[in-house]
Amino acid sequence: MRIVHISDIHVAERHFIRELMERVIERVNSLKPEILVLTGDLTDSGYLYEFEDAKAFIERFECERRVVVPGNHDARNVGYLYFEDIFGARSSVLNHKGVTVVAVDSTQPDLDEGHIGRDKYDWIRKSLQNAGDDLKIFALHHHLLPVPYTGRERNILTDAGDVLKLLNDCNVNLVLCGHKHVSWVWVLNNMIVLNAGTACTNRLKYRILPSFNLIEVKDTDDPNKKRIQVRRIYSKDGSEIYVLDKIIEKS
Ligand SMILES: [Fe+2]
Ligand SMILES: [Fe+2]
């Protein structure tokens, strides 16, 4: 099972590099992923023309199973309503061949800080419980854990501690997020927390290049264990590096 994780395309922003986006689309299509996860900041300011541009690019990914959540930039100027019109619900669940992706909106209107909120915890718990013994993936825009090269820490969810416990209690295996354009991976308990950088902008922190993530889920001899391999693919030249190769227990 191949899953591509892309974040922070920021279409229409002055930092958006169309040529890089074209390369990303071409590379992703050559990978033939079964699931595509986009963890927010599709736009700069949440305006309609930006969402329409983003949609036109995203539709060119040859992957019928797309999971999309909004980022803080998409929630600006009431952009979350356009998000719903164009991409559907801001939180969603996808099940496919033993993998469940629970994707949750972590934005607040016109604020950069992320927040899941207690009112969503029951829905998240039920959605993950319904996944049974599937591999469980949780997707959101904001950081669940701090990552380096982001300066003064103001990026993790305001309720990160409670969300971490909730996801751990529900045996989540993989968390996908974006936001500060730094690609990074942490492993906490049995949970991989994977940040994607920006795929196609020059809003880059110290020597970090635009990239996206390729996740491969492989069977092992033990039906309760999966092998997760993560590669970071650089948008400009398509080169790649392994960032993780780990066997995890599904529950
Ligand atoms: Fe961003
Ligand atoms: Fe963001």
pLDDT recorded at residue 251: 74
pLDDT tens track for 87-130: 999 999 999 999 999 999 999 999 999 999 999 999 999 999 99
Query: Which ligand places an atom closest to the C-alpha of 141?
Result: 2
pLDDT recorded at residue 127: 98
CA 96 to centroid of ligand 2, rounded, Å: 27
Position 250 confidence tier, pLDDT thresholds 50, 70, 90:
confident
Query: Which ligand places an atom closest to the C-alpha of 13?
Result: 1
pLDDT recorded at residue 134: 96
Name the average pLDDT for the chain: 97
CA 42 to centroid of ligand 2, rounded, Å: 9
DSSP character at residue 76:
G
The arithmetic mean of pLDDT across residues 31-41, rounded, is 98
Write down the H helix ranges in the chain. Answer: 18-31, 48-58, 79-87, 118-129, 160-169
Query: Which ligand places an atom closest to the C-alpha of 74?
Result: 2
Kindly provide the b/e burial profile for residues 76-93, where b requires at least 16 CB atoms within 10 angstroms of the residue's own CB: bbebbebbeeebeebbbb
CA 181 to centroid of ligand 1, rounded, Å: 6
CA 221 to centroid of ligand 2, rounded, Å: 39
Position 13 confidence tier, pLDDT thresholds 50, 70, 90:
confident
Domain boundaries, the chain: 2-249
pLDDT tens track for 130-158: 999 999 999 999 999 999 999 999 889 99
How would you classify the pairing of strands 174-177 and 191-195? parallel
CA 9 to centroid of ligand 2, rounded, Å: 10
CA 106 to centroid of ligand 1, rounded, Å: 13
pLDDT recorded at residue 155: 87
Please determine, for residue 12, whether its predicted confidence score (pLDDT) is greater than 90: no
CA 151 to centroid of ligand 1, rounded, Å: 15
Unique residue bearing structure tokens 């229409």 = 12
CA 78 to centroid of ligand 1, rounded, Å: 17
Asked whether the beta carbons of 192 and 244 are under 8 A apart, the reply is yes
Please determine, for residue 46, whether its predicted confidence score (pLDDT) is greater than 80: yes
Superfamily of domain 2-249: Metallo-dependent phosphatases (3.60.21.10)
pLDDT recorded at residue 105: 98
Query: Which ligand places an atom closest to the C-alpha of 203?
Result: 1
| Distance in Å from the first CA to the final CA of the chain | 19
pLDDT tens track for 15-24: 999 999 999 9
pLDDT tens track for 70-91: 999 999 999 999 999 999 999 9
Tally of CB atoms within 10 A around 118: 9
CA 125 to centroid of ligand 2, rounded, Å: 25
The arithmetic mean of pLDDT across residues 165-174, rounded, is 98
Cross-strand bridge partners of residue 191: 188
